[in-house]
Structure 1
Amino acid sequence: MNSPRRLARIAGVLYLLVGIFGGFAEGFVYPKVYAVGDAATTAGNVIGNSGLVRLGIVADLFNAVVWIFLAMTLYLLLKHVNKSVARAMVVLVAIGASIVCLNTVFEFEGLRAATGAINLAALGTAGSNALVLLLLDTQHYGISIAQIFFGLWLVPLGYLAYKSAGWFPRWLGVLLIVGGACYLVDLLAAFLVPDFGKEIHAFIWIPSAIAEISMVLYLLVIGVKTVKPAARRAALVAID
C-alpha cells in the first residue's frame, strides 16, 4: 500500500465505481420514476419499477461508501503535498456522502408509500400519490444540495494534483478546479435563476464531466509519474 502508483490505481478503480453506481442511480433510475410536478405519474412509475428503485437505492448507498474510500485513498496518495488540504478534501466528501445516504431514506419511504407498505387509505389515492411525489421531490432536491460537495471536493483535489510536483500534470489540476466550479455554478443557477439554469445545464456539466473522466483515466492508465526524491524536492521548492 506504500507504492504511490498502486495507490493511484486503487483510487482509479474506486473512482470508476463511483461513476458507475452514481451514473446508474442518478442517470438511469431517477429519470424513469420521477416526473416533476406529476404525482400520479411518479407514483405509477415507482410502482411499475419498484425493483429498479430498490437497485437505485442500493447503488446510491454503495456510491456514497465507495466515494469515502476513494477520498481516503487519495488522502494517502497526496497528503505529502499538503496535509491540511488533503484532510479538507476528505471532510467535504464525508459530508456529501452523508447527504446522499440520507436522501435514500426519502426515496425508500416514497417506494413504501407507493407500493402500500404504509397504510395511507385515509389520504385516498390522490393524497397518497401526492405524498409519494413529496418524498421523491425531497430526495431530488437533496441530491441537488449534495451537488455542492460534488463540486467542492474537486477544488482541493485539483489543488493537490496541481502542486504534486509532477505526479499529476498541472492541466489536470486546473481542469478539476474548473469542473468543481461548474458544479457550483450549475447549482446556483438552478436555485437563483431557474429558467436560465435549465438553459445552461446541459453545457455547464461538460467541463465537470471532462475533468472527472480525465482523472479516472489518468489514475487507471498512468497512475502517477513518480520521480526521484531529490528531483521531487527540487520541484516542490521551485513551486513554492
Structure 2
Amino acid sequence: MSVFSDPQSRGFARVTGLFYLSVAFIGPFAILYVPAQIGVPGDAAATLNNLIAKRGLFMAGAGGEAAIMLIEVVLAALLYTMFRVVNPTLSAMAGLARFGEAAVMGAMLLFSAAALSVADPATAFGGIDEVQRAGLAATMVHAHDAGVWVWQLFFALHLAILGQLVARSGLYPRLIGHAMTLGSVGYVLDTMSAFAFPNSGALAMVTGVFLAIVTLAEVSFALWLIIRGPRRAAA
C-alpha cells in the first residue's frame, strides 16, 4: 500500500485517475442506459413488465451503481488527501460533498431492491391487485431515478470546489480546473430542469452545453492524473 503514502506522487495520482476514469465507463450504463430501459413514464404496467422481463439488466444496473457508490467514497478520500495542501477547508468541503453523493446513491439502491420485491410475484406483494402492484413498482422506480437529481446537487458542489482547488494548486492545468467549476452548473441546471422545468427546450440546450464542458474537463483531469501526474512530481 506504499502508493498511498505520498499524496503528491505520480503513483497516487495515477491510482486516483484510474478510479476517476472508471466512473466514466460504468456511469453511462448504470445511470443512463438501464433506467431508460426499465422506466416508462406514464405507464406503470409497462414499467412492471420491464422489471420482470429485464430483471437481469436491472440487477446489472444496480450492481454498477453499487460499484460507483464505493468508488465515490474512495475518491472522496483520495481527492481530499491530494488537495488539502492547497486549502484544507475547501478540500474537506469537496470531500464531504462527494461522500454525500455516494450516500444518496446508497439510498437509491434501497428503492431498487424494493422495486424488485414488488415486481416478484412470489413475494407478499404478489397477492395484491395487479394495477396496485404496477403502480407501486413504478413509484419505486421513479423514486430511484429521482435520486440522480438529488445527488447531482452534491456532485455540483464537489466539482465547483474541486475545480478551484485544481486551478489554484499549481500542480495541474488551470484551464481544466476552471472548466470543472464552470461545467458544474450543468448538474444544477439538469436537476432544475427535471424538477421545475421538464418541458423547457431552451434550458435543456443550455444544460447540455454545461454538461459537455464538465464531462470534457473531468475526463481530461482523469487522463492527466493517469498520464502526467502532478507537475511538482515531474520536476
TM-score normalised by structure 1 residue count: 0.88
Choose from 155, 159, 163 the match for 1:154: 159
Q: CA RMSD in A?
A: 1.9
Choose from 115, 135, 153 the match for 2:140: 135
Matched, 1:37 2:38: no
Using the alignment, how far apart are the partners of 2:186 and 2:84 within structure 1?
Answer: 25
Runs of 4+ in 1 over 3 A off after TM superposition: 201-204
Which amino acid is the alignment partner of residue 154 of structure 1? L
Choose from 56, 68, 78 the match for 2:73: 68
Choose from 19, 22, 30 the match for 2:24: 19
Matched, 1:188 2:192: yes
Contact kept in structure 2, 1:64 and 1:100, CA below 8 Å? yes
Contact kept in structure 1, 2:51 and 2:116, CA below 8 Å? yes
Using the alignment, how far apart are the partners of 1:159 and 1:148 within structure 2?
Answer: 17
Using the alignment, how far apart are the partners of 2:193 and 2:139 within structure 1?
Answer: 23
Contact kept in structure 2, 1:37 and 1:133, CA below 8 Å? no
Which amino acid is the alignment partner of residue 48 of structure 2? A
Q: How far 1:122 moved relative to its partner?
A: 4.6
Aligned equivalent of 1:126? 131
Choose from 191, 194, 209 the match for 2:215: 209
**Residues 146, 91 of structure 1: alpha-carbon distance in 2 compared, 3 angstrom cutoff:** same
Using the alignment, how far apart are the partners of 2:208 and 2:169 within structure 1?
Answer: 32
Matched, 1:6 2:7: no
Aligned equivalent of 2:57? 52
Q: How far 1:50 moved relative to its partner?
A: 0.6
* Bigger Cα displacement from structure 2, 203-212 vs 133-142: 203-212
**CA deviation digits over 1:189-237, x for unaligned, max 9?**
33222211674254442122112111111111211211699xxxxxxxx
TM-score normalised by structure 2 residue count: 0.90
Q: How far 1:156 moved relative to its partner?
A: 1.3
Using the alignment, how far apart are the partners of 1:189 and 1:71 within structure 2?
Answer: 27
* Bigger Cα displacement from structure 2, 37-46 vs 14-23: 14-23
**Residues 96, 194 of structure 1: alpha-carbon distance in 2 compared, 3 angstrom cutoff:** same
Using the alignment, how far apart are the partners of 1:217 and 1:157 within structure 2?
Answer: 16
**CA deviation digits over 1:28-61, x for unaligned, max 9?**
2111111112111111111111112112112111
Choose from 79, 95, 104 the match for 2:100: 95
**CA deviation digits over 1:87-118, x for unaligned, max 9?**
11111011110001101111111012112243
Partner SS, residue 193 of structure 1: coil
Contact kept in structure 2, 1:162 and 1:173, CA below 8 Å? yes
Choose from 91, 115, 134 the match for 1:86: 91
